[in-house]
Structure 1
């Protein structure tokens, strides 16, 4: 399980595969100099609820992964995450959409 360190203090713990996809979307938005929100539900070991942070190009942000190798990326999942990023609600960590097998 990796994490996003935000503003040098706050940390969001997230599974490496999801983090790799979030990183692509966040980097794309910041490269365009776009600010946005990032929201997530608290894990079972945290008090209930959810959190949202305001992500801005001037605020330090660090992605740390447990695994040394980057996982293969799912383009459809990135598109879904980017769609949420471009909405007024900001990035919402949505479940990965897998291609259904064809017969």
Structure 2
């Protein structure tokens, strides 16, 4: 399970590395474009089973901590879904992973890759 650390505070958001990788791509690319948005998630049942949200903006300190060292393959359709929520009035919400039906040319967002992973993203299907 990975962790999302916001402004030095470990948030009560524990997600698998695959989900966290997709969130990282969306969040980093949105902030690179100087977007500000809300990120919301459902709290663990151990902590009240409620919801939490944070306001993300380019000046906030973020850290993504992964439990594994391998970068998972990227589902472009999932990125599209996540970008759609991030730019909506409700803000970014982690949606369930859909089947990847996209092609590399679907949209400008489809070129998003994990930072430092540009070469392997063009090498075709990974993992």
Structure 1: runs of 5 or more not aligned: none
**Matches of residues 74-93 of structure 1 in structure 2 within 5 Å?**
74-93=75-94
Aligned to 2:27: 26
Query: Corresponding residue for 2:5?
Result: 5
Give TM-score scaled by structure 1 length: 0.91
Show structure 1 runs of 4+ deviating over 3 A. none
Q: CA deviation at 1:23?
A: 0.5
Number of matched residues? 100
Distance 2:63 2:71 in 1: 16
Separation in 2, partners of 1:56, 1:78: 19
Instruction: Indicate the residue corresponding to 2:45 in structure 1.
Output: 44
- In 2, the alpha carbon distance for the partners of 1:85 and 1:9 equals 22
* TM score, norm. by length of structure 2: 0.75
CA RMSD of aligned residues (A): 1.3
Query: Secondary structure of the equivalent of 2:46?
Result: coil
**Structure ranking higher on relative contact order (CA contacts 8 Å, 6+ apart):** 1
Residue ranges of structure 2 left out of the alignment (5+ in a row) = 102-127
